[in-house]
Structure 1
Amino acid sequence: MARPVTLCTMQWGDLPLEVVCEKAKSFGFDGVELGLPSHLDVRRTDPEYYRNIKATLDKYDLKLFCISNHLIGQAICDNIDQRHKSVLPDYIWGDGDPEGVHRRAAENMIQAAHAAKMLGIDTVAGFTGSSIWQWLYSFPPVTDEMVNEGYADFARRFIPILDEYQKLGVRFALEVHPTEIAFDTYSTRKALEAIDYHPAFGFNYDPSHLGYQGVDYVDFINQFADRIFHVHMKDVYWSDTPKQIGVFGGHSTFGDARRFWNFRSLGRGKIRFEEIIRALNDAGYQGPLSVEWEDSGMDREHGARESCAFVKQVDFQPSAHAFDACFER
């Protein structure tokens, strides 16, 4: 049986949940990945609220496997500034005092684990933020001590969160991504070491964020096979020739044609999805394949529909027996 294909609702946060569910079903999706804070308020503790969400999903015959807390999670370890005010709800931003924002974001991430339990699922995907992303390019020289303190800060802030997740039987899946404490294979290993390979910590695998950096996104699955808790299917295009705006993206906006790379609808970029499916099969991943659709140059309804069909076409299960077994007598 093929893996379920779900739609991440974060990019549809301008629409009510029921409208998104109706559209997702019409596009052919098997389920949704609920994005915070637009489609789920994890501060709610009343069972009726969660029963109503499940009833809405049932109405459209949609499954739920994961909720996503990216925007608020970003504020847990980031150096807080005015950029965060634009993406955080007022109840997290508060008066903007950085430590207060950190604390409220961490509390919300724990609330997300409780919400997952109320919804009957065991995975929360999201971001961590990073106090050392600003030092990506090491000039003026960045010392090992400065980098190590960044990972220590991540551990101090996240281990208490992960301990609560473990108590609840819920897993946190970091989307390895620029601006996070883990953004490539090397930094991912350092993040795991910083938290002593905490069992509640794994990854929301998204190949697009690795591909344009020049990171081997198929090998990433092989390196962390037992830590792939959730999968985002997203495509990206990068140029074969030099462009005006390089791999860092400059101060341009997504979709600018002068950029070296831009996200594309699934099947229209350069990610080798068949190799990803084969690696996920080898890793034994049986969870959903969640479409996180981000193509600045395409109507999102057209893109969501074609992306759902693309994932269902490219996915396949591993063989139950060796092809040459029939040769044996």
Structure 2
Amino acid sequence: MKLGFLTACLPDQPLDAIIEWGAAAGYQALEVAAWPAVGNRPFTATHIAVETLDRSAAEDIRERFDTSGLTLSSLAFYDNNLHPDPAERSAINEHVLACIDAAALLGCPTVGTFVGRDPSRSVAANLAEAEEVFKPLVDSAGEKGVKLVIENCVMEGWHPDGYPGNLAYSPELWEWMFSIGLYLNYDPSHLVWMGIDPVAALTPYIDRIPHAQAKDIQVFPELRNRYGWPGKAIDRPDPWDVGWWRYRVPGLGQVDWTAVVDALYEGGFEGVLSVEHEDPIWGGTEDKVKTGLEIAHRTLAPLIVG
């Protein structure tokens, strides 16, 4: 197992600078942001422009990673592959394919994305459509020796009432994903607020988890008693403001990282555990983000063997 982080938390830094800082900070891998350069969604970045990547540029990037001693663990493009607007959905699907092509050139084993959801349709209808949408994506990944991994993020802000906007939030849905050739980018933080034991959920599926993320969560039960599980209903101008929990860097929340890492080792996990930094306390400036990554490293590095 190696310890890495997702580069999206440093959107204004070039990849070379992130590689240099990550290696100096003791990290062993990077999960590299590969969203399209257009758009300004939070927690996204473009550290590799996959649409224009050619073999020569890929070789240069591979050499930079090799020289630093870091591993390129995944390309990250987390968007709604079931977007209700046909043109938007097509563009997202095409970008996933571009990420797969880039991963093959880079020797990168995984590409991360979301299943997504059309919030106007039932879960059953979405899953039936997803089987058709993902078939060419899974086929392309298989042909190129890349695994397409889905993070179990709930993406509640994509649904008008705060319900799951990414149909990958439970083991029931993981089994559906596996049946169509997808893999899991496991993140325990989302399971905590869903009321799912992150270790019990993890244990049966480790052979379908080539990559994992490390994000923590802080829950406020007294606020949940007011808003209920879906979160704020009346006064919620920010669709992501659930109102009773917030993300933290590992070590500052309620995830039992010793138990999670121990379960990964016991199950034979040999991939990268990648810190996904979305902590509002240790965010907002580059210095604070890097401090957050240092806190995460101090928490997790002692649990990673050699």
Q: 2:95 aligns with which of 90, 108, 112?
A: 108
Q: Is the contact between residue 177 and residue 183 of structure 2 (CA under 8 Å) also seen in structure 1?
A: no
Q: Is the contact between residue 265 and residue 303 of structure 1 (CA under 8 Å) also seen in structure 2?
A: yes
The aligned residue for residue 104 of structure 2 is 117
Q: 2: distance between equivalents of 1:253 and 1:316?
A: 41
Are residues 316 and 45 of structure 1, via their aligned partners in 2, closer, same or farther at CA, if it must alter by over 3 Å? Answer: closer
**Residue 219 (structure 1) shift:** 1.8
SS at match of 2:32: strand
SS at match of 1:212: helix
**Residue 254 (structure 1) shift:** 9.5
Q: 2: distance between equivalents of 1:205 and 1:124?
A: 13
Flag the structure with larger Rg.
Answer: 1
SS at match of 2:230: coil
**Larger CA deviation: 20-29 vs 165-174:** 20-29
Q: Is the contact between residue 250 and residue 296 of structure 2 (CA under 8 Å) also seen in structure 1?
A: yes
The aligned residue for residue 142 of structure 1 is none
Q: 1:273 aligns with which of 241, 257, 271?
A: 257
> Over aligned residue pairs, what C-alpha RMSD do you find?
2.2
Aligned: 1:303 with 2:292: yes
Q: Is the contact between residue 235 and residue 268 of structure 1 (CA under 8 Å) also seen in structure 2?
A: yes
**Residue 64 (structure 1) shift:** 1.1
The aligned residue for residue 113 of structure 2 is 126
Q: 1: distance between equivalents of 2:228 and 2:48?
A: 36
**Residues 29-44 of structure 1: matches in 2 within 5 Å?**
29-37=27-35, 38-44=46-52
Q: Is the contact between residue 110 and residue 148 of structure 2 (CA under 8 Å) also seen in structure 1?
A: yes
Q: Is the contact between residue 21 and residue 60 of structure 1 (CA under 8 Å) also seen in structure 2?
A: yes
**Residue 204 (structure 1) shift:** 0.2
Q: Is the contact between residue 221 and residue 228 of structure 1 (CA under 8 Å) also seen in structure 2?
A: no
Q: Is the contact between residue 174 and residue 184 of structure 2 (CA under 8 Å) also seen in structure 1?
A: no
**Residue 75 (structure 1) shift:** 3.1
**Residue 26 (structure 1) shift:** 2.6
Aligned: 1:234 with 2:210: no
Structure 1 gap ranges (5+): 80-97, 136-145, 318-329
The aligned residue for residue 141 of structure 1 is none
Aligned: 1:51 with 2:27: no
Q: 1:207 aligns with which of 188, 195, 205?
A: 188
Q: TM-score, normalised by structure 2?
A: 0.83
The aligned residue for residue 262 of structure 1 is 246
Q: Is the contact between residue 3 and residue 304 of structure 2 (CA under 8 Å) also seen in structure 1?
A: no
**Residues 243-254 of structure 1: matches in 2 within 5 Å?**
243=224, 245-250=227-232, 251=236
Give the letter aligned to residue 266 of structure 1.
P
Q: 2: distance between equivalents of 1:211 and 1:75?
A: 23
The aligned residue for residue 18 of structure 1 is 16
Count of residue correspondences: 277
**Larger CA deviation: 236-245 vs 204-213:** 236-245
Give the letter aligned to residue 62 of structure 2.
K
Give the letter aligned to residue 175 of structure 1.
E
**Residue 313 (structure 1) shift:** 1.2
Give the letter aligned to residue 291 of structure 1.
V
Are residues 314 and 249 of structure 1, via their aligned partners in 2, closer, same or farther at CA, if it must alter by over 3 Å? Answer: farther
**Residue 235 (structure 1) shift:** 0.6
The aligned residue for residue 42 of structure 2 is none
SS at match of 2:212: strand
Aligned: 1:169 with 2:145: yes
Q: 2: distance between equivalents of 1:5 and 1:254?
A: 31
The aligned residue for residue 154 of structure 1 is 130
**Residue 252 (structure 1) shift:** 6.1
Q: Is the contact between residue 237 and residue 270 of structure 1 (CA under 8 Å) also seen in structure 2?
A: yes
The aligned residue for residue 6 of structure 2 is 8
Give the letter aligned to residue 230 of structure 2.
F
Q: 2: distance between equivalents of 1:26 and 1:254?
A: 37
The aligned residue for residue 181 of structure 1 is 167
Q: 2: distance between equivalents of 1:253 and 1:15?
A: 27
Structure 2 gap ranges (5+): 36-45, 155-164, 283-287
Give the letter aligned to residue 168 of structure 2.
A
Give the letter aligned to residue 69 of structure 1.
F
Q: Is the contact between residue 277 and residue 316 of structure 1 (CA under 8 Å) also seen in structure 2?
A: no
**Residue 259 (structure 1) shift:** 2.6
